[in-house]
Amino acid sequence: MYRYDEFDRRFLEERVAQYRDQVRRRLAGQLSEDEFRPLRLMNGLYLQLHAYMLRIAIPYGSLSPAKLRVLARIARRYDRGYGHFTTRQNIQFNWIKLEETPDILAELAAVEMHSIQTSGNCIRNTTADPFAGAADDEIEDPRPWCEIIRQWSTLHPEFSFLPRKFKIAVSAAATDRAAVRLHDIGLYLRRNAAGEVGFEVLVGGGLGRTPMIAKTLRDFLPKHRLLAYLEAILRVYNEFGRRDNLYKSRIKILVQALGIDKMRDAVEREFGAMGESALPLPPATVAAIAAHFAPPTLAAPGADDETELARALAQAPALARWVRYNVAPHRAAGHAIVTVSLKPPGRPPGDASAAQMELLADLAERYSQGEIRATYEQNLVLPHVRRRDLPALWRHLGEAGLATANAGLASDIISCPGLDYCSLANARSIPVAERLSRHLAARDQEIGELHIKISGCINACGHHHVGHIGILGVDKNGEEFYQITIGGSADENAALGAIVGPAVPSAAVTGAVDTLIGVYLDLRREGERFPDTYRRIGAAPFKEALYAAA
């Protein structure tokens, strides 16, 4: 994991001091709320329905036990004992007092964390594959590049007042676990015909009111030119992105207006004009950062590891089920990647209590080389677990309500905060998620992989457009209704869902989802996931089933 050097530390101290002074000026009345708002937003502090909400960055989803313990401490001391993991590898605290925020930021700084650029029209927290450095399908570890981007984008003087927020995601694996194609810039590490590793650069993805899948801007960018190329894209966007209409100001709209070819011309022209020496990334610089991400030394598996595990699995079907769904292959023999579900049936997706965070910090130290990751699916990951330790880990997790065996299944629902917290919401999303997960949990295994995603308004924080089944809260004459989409997908074959028909009232959502799942179960062929069946048979059978009854 990246460790701050003296410069990073000094920078963050300066930042906390600056923010403390801004809060002082606000409380002293020297700054109006209008003037203070952009400053607090640059530090992730939103004013919500009931209180301030503080959003803290977890750069590329990477957490250490020390960091997680401080998050637990913040939950206990400054909030109501829990935090909420979001779809952007951030954590949010919903009950924060303005006066206390400088102290919270100081506590975070002590463990090399901050909330810089978790809000505002700047380059946001860079997200990445939560299995990075452990996955068996990865070309190389993407985290050094994420850290390079994190540093370059931190308080970037030219790009802190862009037309709109700007999100970058990175993956180096065959399976996209970072929703790369739904970002303003998506980066895939790829190997070219000559065997060199570089970036495929995508641009113009995004959700919100006008969802779009990113398009390829460059098939192959040499790694050492990464920052110059990013800067060229951002400069073009800063100059030409629309500023007259909030809803048309993301880079996706610019790409749509120009067309990808003209966009490419503009970026390549700027990139060429910058010259070879712009924003150099000499091998020594890259190597120094990469050294922080050296793979952990993992013990070779013992001769009886697998027989021991098999015996434990045979004795405990619940453990076997958890291993089946929440455990993924690791690149090192005898090891596994564990997904810790934050989706117990009937509970708000992504919430974790202070006690749970502290337990996970301990378990990460004991079983996972001191590493924890946050996923955009609002779960946590222990990336380096010895397979032999799985039964013990599972027992510990289970005691804290963290062993729900549903990763990637129907009850593993993504949901935004919705009307329970958010001032922009049209409808509640958490209670809908709670009802659905309670209802579906018993059928998880029968249904198999299924991604249900819920947003409380068209801003799409809950990714509903790319849910296999997406649920969007809408307001119909003051009543909460839900529009349902099907066939979306957030992986390497990203696709936007299609609306099935008129929105349904809150009480009918669970039944409607049941009906859609019923059609899928009836008509699916061997090995087909929900979107596969949908692509094969089209929307008609789903529509008929859903609206015939009415």
In the complex, the residues that contact ligand HEM under the rule CB under 6 A are: 46, 48, 53, 86-88, 92, 164, 167, 182, 206-209, 250, 416-417, 421-422, 424, 459-461, 463
Shortest distance, position 243 Cβ to ligand SF4, whole Å = 21
In the region spanning residues 455 to 484, those forming contacts with ligand SF4, defined by CB under 6 A, are 455-457, 459-462
Q: Is residue 15 near other proteins by the rule CB under 8 A?
A: yes
Shortest distance, position 460 Cβ to ligand SF4, whole Å = 6
Partner from ligand SF4, ligand HEM, other proteins, none contacting 425, C-beta within 5 to 8 A by type: ligand SF4
- DSSP-derived 3-state class of residue 46: strand
Report how far residue 545's alpha carbon sits from residue 360's, in angstroms, rounded to the nearest whole number.
43
CB 342 within 8 A of CB 350: yes
Q: Give 164 or 218: the residue with its C-beta nearer to ligand HEM.
A: 164
CA distance to 174, 382, 393, 410, 467, per residue, from 472 (Å): 30, 31, 36, 17, 11
Q: Give 309 or 490: the residue with its C-beta nearer to ligand SF4.
A: 490
Shortest distance, position 202 Cβ to ligand HEM, whole Å = 13
Report how far residue 384's alpha carbon sits from residue 366's, in angstroms, rounded to the nearest whole number.
11
- DSSP-derived 3-state class of residue 94: strand
Partner from ligand SF4, other proteins, ligand HEM, none contacting 92, C-beta within 5 to 8 A by type: ligand HEM
**Is residue 4 packed enough to be buried (19+ CB in 10 Å), middle (13-18) or exposed (0-12)?**
middle
From 4, 11, 78, 547, residue interacting with other proteins (rule: CB under 8 A): 11
Report how far residue 399's alpha carbon sits from residue 501's, in angstroms, rounded to the nearest whole number.
43
The identity of residue 388, as a single letter, is R
Partner from other proteins, ligand SF4, ligand HEM, none contacting 455, C-beta within 5 to 8 A by type: ligand SF4
Partner from ligand SF4, ligand HEM, other proteins, none contacting 117, C-beta within 5 to 8 A by type: none
Structure tokens at 265: 């011309």
Q: Is residue 224 near other proteins by the rule CB under 8 A?
A: no
Partner from ligand HEM, other proteins, ligand SF4, none contacting 160, C-beta within 5 to 8 A by type: other proteins
Interface with other proteins by CB under 8 A: which range of 130-138, 148-156, 317-325, 471-479? 148-156
The identity of residue 186, as a single letter, is G
Name the pairing type of β-strands 414-415 and 452-455. Answer: parallel
Q: Which of these, 387, 379, 425, lies nearest to 404 by C-alpha position?
A: 379
Q: Is residue 290 near other proteins by the rule CB under 8 A?
A: no
Shortest distance, position 527 Cβ to ligand SF4, whole Å = 33
From 98, 106, 139, 279, residue interacting with other proteins (rule: CB under 8 A): 279
CB 117 within 8 A of CB 277: no
Sketch the per residue contact string, 419 through 438, with ligand SF4: x for CB under 6 A, - otherwise: ---x-xx-------------
Q: Give 52 or 220: the residue with its C-beta nearer to ligand HEM.
A: 52
In the region spanning residues 509 to 538, those forming contacts with other proteins, defined by CB under 8 A, are none
Report how far residue 413's alpha carbon sits from residue 450's, in angstroms, rounded to the nearest whole number.
9
Shortest distance, position 56 Cβ to ligand SF4, whole Å = 16
Query: Assign residue 237 a region: left if phi > 0, alpha if psi is -120 to 50, beta otherwise?
Result: alpha
CB 380 within 8 A of CB 352: yes
Q: Give 160 or 353: the residue with its C-beta nearer to other proteins.
A: 160
- DSSP-derived 3-state class of residue 314: helix
In the region spanning residues 159 to 178, those forming contacts with other proteins, defined by CB under 8 A, are 159-162
Q: Give 22 or 489: the residue with its C-beta nearer to other proteins.
A: 22
Partner from ligand HEM, ligand SF4, other proteins, none contacting 238, C-beta within 5 to 8 A by type: other proteins
Q: Is residue 404 near ligand SF4 by the rule CB under 6 A?
A: no
Q: Is residue 292 near other proteins by the rule CB under 8 A?
A: no
Q: Is residue 51 near ligand SF4 by the rule CB under 6 A?
A: no
Report how far residue 248's alpha carbon sits from residue 254's, in angstroms, rounded to the nearest whole number.
8
Structure tokens at 508: 């009918």
Torsions phi, psi for 171 (to 5 deg): -145, 150
Partner from ligand HEM, other proteins, ligand SF4, none contacting 343, C-beta within 5 to 8 A by type: none
Q: Give 250 or 524: the residue with its C-beta nearer to ligand HEM.
A: 250
For the chain, how long is the longest CA-to-CA vector?
69
Shortest distance, position 215 Cβ to other proteins, whole Å = 23
Beta-carbon contacts of 403 under 8 Å, excluding residues fewer than 6 positions away, are 322, 341, 394, 397
Shortest distance, position 187 Cβ to ligand SF4, whole Å = 25
Partner from ligand SF4, other proteins, ligand HEM, none contacting 60, C-beta within 5 to 8 A by type: none
Structure tokens at 526: 């061997």
Exposed e or buried b for every residue in 196-216, given b needs 16+ CB within 10 A?
A: eebbbbbbbbbbbeebbbbbe
Report how far residue 17's alpha carbon sits from residue 537's, in angstroms, rounded to the nearest whole number.
59
CA-derived radius of gyration, the chain: 23
CB atoms within 10 A of CB 169: 29
Beta-carbon contacts of 255 under 8 Å, excluding residues fewer than 6 positions away, are 203, 204, 212, 215, 263
Q: Give 117 or 415: the residue with its C-beta nearer to other proteins.
A: 117
Partner from ligand SF4, other proteins, ligand HEM, none contacting 207, C-beta within 5 to 8 A by type: ligand HEM
Q: Is residue 349 near ligand SF4 by the rule CB under 6 A?
A: no
Beta bridge mates, 483: 472
Report how far residue 513's alpha carbon sits from residue 483's, in angstroms, rounded to the nearest whole number.
11
Return residues touching other proteins (CB under 8 A): 5, 7-8, 10-11, 14-15, 17-18, 22, 25, 30, 35, 38-39, 121, 151-162, 235, 238-239, 243, 273, 279-280, 284-285, 288
Name the residues that contact ligand SF4, by CB under 6 A. Answer: 416-418, 422, 424-425, 455-457, 459-462
